[in-house]
Amino acid sequence: MIIAVDFDGTIVEHKYPMIGKELPFAIETLKKIRDERHKLILWTVREGHLLEEALAFCRERGLEFYAVNRDYPEEEKGKNNHFSRKLKADIFIDDRNLGGLPDWGTIYEMINQKLSFEDLMKKYESEYKPARSKSFFSRFFR
């Protein structure tokens, strides 16, 4: 899959234009997803020096992206005017998702098992079956 990932508020805490602390398991999870042969696109509002800082932050932690703010690495700015500026990604991971950003363990499970958030919640509900305690009298009679 092609997965577009935001930076501020998704990989790191939202402190723009500064770089916030890494969100727990963000880089580790993204590297695992990348190693499972998914293509990661960094999809951020950052440009110029601020973008270079974000890329360096990720690179220092062993995370490289397939492309940055474009569909593929060779795409040239200004030469793709006849196409939509919207990325052609299968999944977008962003803190501004409706409902917010799930934790990175949940994100990984959704990608790995190809589940929607709704499917994942149904799975959790079916796995969680509270144990019914026996009534006082039923403990004496089998």
pTM of the predicted structure, to 2 decimals: 0.80
CA distance 118 to 49: 39
Query: Residue 40 and residue 83: Cα distance in Å, rounded?
Result: 20
Cis status of the peptide bond prior to 130, with omega within 30 of 0: no
> Which position has the token pair 């509900």?
125
34 neighbors 63 (Cβ within 8 angstroms): yes
Residues of the chain with pLDDT under 70: 75-85, 129-142
Predicted local confidence at residue 118, as pLDDT = 87
Domains and CATH numbers, the chain: 2-127 (3.40.50.1000)
Q: Which residue has the tokens 């799930």?
A: 102
User: What does the alpha-carbon distance between residue 53 and residue 12 come to, in Å, rounded to a whole number?
Assistant: 12
How many helices (H) and strands (E) the chain has is answered by 4, 4
